[in-house]
Amino acid sequence: MMGAEKVGMMKGMAGAACFGLLCAAMPALAHHAFVAEFDANKRVKVSGTVTKLEWTNPHAWLYVDGKDESGKVTNWAFEMGSPNTLIRQGWRRTALKEGDQVTVEGYAAKDGSNNANARSVTLPDGTKVFAGSPATDGGPAR
Amino acid sequence: MRLPTSAACLLGVALIAFGQGTGGTISGTVTDVDGRAVPGAQVQAKNEAGAQFQAKAAASGGYTLAELPAGTYQITIASPGLQPFMKRNVTVQAGQTARVDASLVDFASLGSVGEDRTFYANAFGAHDAPTGPAPRTPDGKPDFSGVWHTLRVVDPGKPEPLPWAEEVTKERQANNMKDLPSARCLPIGITLEGLLLGFRIMQNPTVLAFLYEDELPRQIYLDGRKHPEESLSPFVGHSVGKWEGDTLVVDAVGFNDKTWLDIQGHPHTDKMHIVERYRRKDLGHLDVEITIDDPGAYKKPWSMKRATELAGADEEVGQYVCTENNRDVQHLVGK
């Protein structure tokens, strides 16, 4: 039977590969479904001054005063993971402080507010704040 | 019968036309929304005869599926933390290469720092596990104690919802799960616990307890008691366990109807009765089968399967106080 052996192999790998509906409905796996709040088609990039870092549950929030082309300043609120998920990726509550200059990229809120999620936080020298730091081996804490 | 025949004809024609190997190739590159490579993405090709083939994207994001029988393929490309990509009707001809590039979009947390694809890859992947026999308690029962990694969905099951429950599930999905209980800092339900963060099990001869970072603890009584007339813990139910050989069989009732059953958003009623079978087959591995019997929402009982591995001895289960600063609710618009 053509491909029978390969099909058998696939069966064993299906869990890891996470194909189909299993993945499609996974927005439920977070404190809240980010796609219910933020628009995956509305990328935002804000450069400016950190005004506050709320190191709180269920999410840390990074507030940044960003200036648009006309010079108008808007205070953006960027949602990040929970403090514990951030800590496990290398963040610390002292990672950013008031007055730091940053560029934050993310997706804007669907409701038109000045909220967004933060996909990356970049310092003026181009380094990203803990982006891509390997977590622990998937463990719950360290 | 028609498809294999036509596939064979196509193969024959291709052999004549090119006079070389019987196989064709699909190759391409897997990137994310920023154009960066997605190494390790799983690429699956399935033809009309049902044969399936797999490849993994290299560090460059490139992949190649070689020596494929000629035919029409469906390509699925997936990587944890990213939305799967699918392309149908990809034609493969002997001696030729079909190119399928994929740009995978973040989902779940939209790539948010702290809960980005690295987080999900760690949460959903299998983990290295220590080897050895399953430990036992002084009375000879298997001891489930320890910190365990997140539970992997091995089999999500095939629920057959009653019409109202199917409607509710569709509505939740259409609204991007905006009413997920945890978004309002409410318990997510015992069948969703442990899927995102690891957890600790503590066990003595009379009770086994699950400690979660982000959910209420749950106790399973092992002392032979019966279910009470009225549950004192309606979000997690009242659970009693008994041993069948080395398997712990847990019977849980006394639920409210406010939690969700799975990541598809299936609802349940307060008639729900859950039977779980826990098995620690060796030191490092825990398997769970969960059977849901809810005549108020489903045509018949159905089962889901989960598995996980033991985490290192230094791992900790922290605390997460959801109501501290939940600023999301007013912004959860759904669609």
Q: Does A123 touch chain B (CB under 8 A)?
A: no
Give the nearest chain A residue to B120 (CA atoms): A138
Instruction: Give the tens place of pLDDT for each residue, B17-33.
Output: 443 467 999 999 999 98
Helix/strand/coil for A18: coil
**ipTM, 2 dp:** 0.83
Percent of the residues in chain A that have a pLDDT greater than 90, as a whole number: 51
Position B49 pLDDT exceeds 90: yes
Q: What is the mean pLDDT of chain A?
A: 76
Give the nearest chain A residue to B109 (CA atoms): A34
**Chain A: closest CA distance from residue B38 (Å):** 13
pLDDT, greater one: B294 or A130: B294
Position B226 pLDDT exceeds 90: yes
Position A79 pLDDT exceeds 60: yes
User: What pLDDT score does A97 carry?
Assistant: 92
Instruction: Flag if B177 and A15 touch (Cβ within 8 Å).
Output: no
Q: Does A21 touch chain B (CB under 8 A)?
A: yes
**Chain A: closest CA distance from residue B241 (Å):** 26
Instruction: Flag if B314 and A142 touch (Cβ within 8 Å).
Output: yes
Q: What is the pTM of this model?
A: 0.83
Q: Which of residues 130-149 of B touch A (CB under 8 A)?
A: 147, 149
* Residues of A whose CB is below 8 A from B325: 54, 56-59, 61
pLDDT, greater one: A31 or B304: B304
**Chain A: closest CA distance from residue B105 (Å):** 9
Lowest mean pLDDT: which of A31-45, B45-59, B143-157, B275-289? Answer: A31-45
